[in-house]
Amino acid sequence: MNTETQPAAPAPQPGLSQHSFLQLMWLASPALPIGGFSYSEGLEAAINAALVTTEKEAANWLVQQLHLTQSRGDMAVIAQAVAAWQQHDLPRVAALNQWVRTTRETSELRLQTEQMGRSLTDWLRNRHADAPEHHNAIAWLAAQDASYPVAFAFAAFCTGAAPRDALLAFAFGWAENMVQAAIKAVPLGQSAGQRILAKLTQEIPQAVDHALALPDSGRQAFSPMLAILSAQHEHQYSRLFRS
């Protein structure tokens, strides 16, 4: 008879369930068919203006964009919208959606959030066709012409994820998509792209924490250089991206 003490089974770890984790990975994937690959969010215009011409400049540009625009704008909206969806507070969600739509500083940036929001709503309709508990909310998203951050917040809510986990997934998906835009437009090699992505992943937790801490009065969409470049991009003669 073996009397040796057997190792204790590992204690369950708190955090996301496997299902929620995999669903968030799915949402963060640039392969999600919502058109994210079509947009550079001003990066192509910065390249055309010779503001971004090297790996280092691309990395610095994207880190600044993460902290100055994403964290203080869309990511803060997502954090607040996930909480609102958890409380079934549609007036709050509607107010956040209106804020996103009215604070886009150029037509191409507004068209981006509208198109990606509609595409994600369509994806959600197909994804949850057999989940009648979500049908009314998805119909509401379609009727509101939901912006991308608000639609993403609902998709994250459906996974059961907490706001912080939702923001980590969103930020990584944004970073991966933007790195791919930089690889194509600067242009850069794949190894350079991986180095930029590594730098962004180091910055993402801080950006997420900042977004989570922002009150309504702390959200902002004031990015004058990005707005100027986006306006110029709307009339740029040769371009790969829609923003």
Domain range list for the chain:
40-233
Angle between helices 148-159 and 90-103 (to 10 degrees): 140
Residue 125 has pLDDT above 90, yes or no: yes
- Residue 42 tokens read as 């001003």
Instruction: Using the predicted structure, report yes or no on whether residue 30 has a pLDDT greater than 70.
Output: yes
pLDDT digits (tens, 9 = 90+) for 209-234: 999 999 999 999 888 999 999 999 99
pLDDT digits (tens, 9 = 90+) for 185-201: 999 999 999 999 999 99
If you ran DSSP here, which 8-state letter would residue 218 be given? Answer: G
For the residues 107-125, what does the mean pLDDT come to?
Answer: 96
pTM value?
0.92
Tell me the per-residue pLDDT of 55-101, one tens digit each, with 9 for 90 and over. Answer: 999 999 999 999 999 999 999 999 999 999 999 999 999 999 999 99
Q: What is the model's pLDDT at position 31?
A: 87
Task: List, for residues 43-56, the tens digit of each pLDDT value.
Answer: 999 999 999 999 99
> What DSSP line would sit under 138-188, residue for residue?
HHHHHHTT--HHHHHHHHHHHHT--HHHHHHHHHHHHHHHHHHHHHHHTT-
Mean pLDDT across the chain, nearest whole number?
91
What is the phi/psi pair of residue 83, to 5°?
-60, -40
Residue 179 has pLDDT above 70, yes or no: yes
Residue 14 pLDDT grade (very low, low, confident, very high; cuts 50, 70, 90): low
**Quick one: pLDDT at residue 237?**
77
The CA–CA distances, whole Å, from 135 to 97, 118, 124, 138 equal 19, 15, 9, 5
How many Cβ atoms from other residues are within 10 Å of residue 150's Cβ? Answer: 31
> What architecture does CATH give domain 40-233?
Orthogonal Bundle (1.10)
What are φ and ψ of residue 73, in 5° steps? -120, -95
Task: Please report the pLDDT score of residue 12 as a whole number.
Answer: 40
Q: How far apart are CA 62 and CA 137, in angstroms?
A: 33
